[in-house]
Amino acid sequence: MNTAEWILVMFLSVALLVFLLLAVILIAKLIGLVKEIRRIVITGQDIADNVKDMTSIGGLVKVVTDKLKGEKDGKKAKE
């Protein structure tokens, strides 16, 4: 092989190396982003479930009974 071919092979090898390194870094960042998005979605679902419970009759009854039960337990603990 002559010098021009070697130079061309070296340029292509370096370009491939840079591309592969950037791809690995991008994949690692995307995995972290997906984990963060999953955490946000789970939190949003929890908030939606809480709002749904607070706006439904059964949820309101549950909250009221829990509060009344807690107050009774609190009074017993104070005595």
- Per-residue pLDDT tens over the stretch 25-42: 999 999 999 999 999 998
**In the prediction, which pLDDT does 11 show?**
96
**Would you say 37 and 43 are in contact if contact means Cβ atoms under 8 Å apart?**
no
**What pTM does this model have?**
0.54
Fill in the DSSP letter of residue 13. Answer: H
Q: Which two tokens stand for residue 43?
A: 């939190």
Greater pLDDT, 70 or 76: 70
pLDDT-derived band of residue 75, with 50, 70 and 90 as boundaries?
Answer: low
**Would you say 54 and 63 are in contact if contact means Cβ atoms under 8 Å apart?**
yes
Greater pLDDT, 21 or 45: 21
Cα–Cα separations (whole angstroms), residue 36 to 24, 40, 43, 48, 75: 19, 6, 11, 18, 43
